[in-house]
Amino acid sequence: MPERADASSGMVLLTGNSHPELAKMVSERLEIRLGEATVYNKTNRETSVDIKQSVRGKHVFILQSGSKNVNNDVMELLVLIYACKTSMSKTITVVMPYLPYSKQCRMLRRSSIAMKLVAEMICKAGASRLVSLDLYKKEIQGFFGIPVDNLRASPFFLQHIKTNVTTHWKYKMDTFFLF
C-alpha cells in the first residue's frame, strides 16, 4: 500500500464507483493512499457518501469518470464534492478523464445544453478546479465558473499505440476499430 502521502500530508485522494481499477492504479503510481470513503445507494436508490476520515483543511482530489451509468456517476461525484465542501476541505479538485454529457455542449433545435447544466452543478456542489482529458470541445471550459485543465492525452496515446501495438488500427468517427 502506498505510504508517501495520506490524510496527514494535507492531501486526500477519494473516488466514486465509476472506475475502481483506475483509482487503484493512480493511487499506486502516485504513491498516494486512497482516502477512506464509501459511496453507495440506499434502498430507495439515492446516492449516499460516508467519508470515514477528516478532510478538514485538506486538498481533496476526487477521481471519478463516466462509465456505463453516467447519471449515477455524476450524482456520486456531486454528493462526494458536497460532502467534502461541508466538511471544510481547503480545495476540491475533480479529476474526470471522461466528462459525461460533454457531447451535449450546444443547442440543437429545442433541446437543452446539458453540459452547461452539469458544469453548473459541479461548481455549485463546491469543486475548486476540474481536470479532464481531451474534452469534446475546448469551449466547454467556459461553462465552468472554476479553473478547468483540459489535458491532451491523445498524442501520447497514439504514440504508445504506434510504438507498442502490433495490430493495425483504423480511426473512424469517435472510435478506434481493429482490422
pLDDT at residue 115 tops 80: yes
Q: Are 14 and 62 in contact (CB under 8 A)?
A: yes
Q: Report the pLDDT value the prediction gives residue 123, as an integer from 0 to 100.
A: 96
CATH topology of domain 7-153: Rossmann fold (3.40.50)
pLDDT at residue 173 tops 50: no
CA-to-CA distance for 143 and 115, rounded, in angstroms?
8
Q: Is 2 helix (H, G, I), strand (E, B) or coil?
A: coil
Looking at residue 41, its amino acid is: N
How does the average pLDDT of the chain come out, rounded? 84
Q: Report the pLDDT value the prediction gives residue 158, as an integer from 0 to 100.
A: 74
Is the pTM for the entire model greater than 0.85?
no
What mean pLDDT is predicted for residues 8-25? 89
pLDDT at residue 4 tops 50: no
Here the contacts of 17-23 (C-beta below 8 Å, separation 24 or greater) are: 17/72, 17/73, 17/76, 18/64, 18/65, 18/66, 18/67, 18/69, 18/73, 18/76, 19/63, 19/64, 19/65, 19/67, 22/63, 22/65, 22/97, 23/63
Q: Report the pLDDT value the prediction gives residue 44, as an integer from 0 to 100.
A: 93
Q: Each residue of 57-107: pLDDT tens digit?
A: 999 999 998 888 899 999 999 999 999 999 999 999 999 988 887 877 677
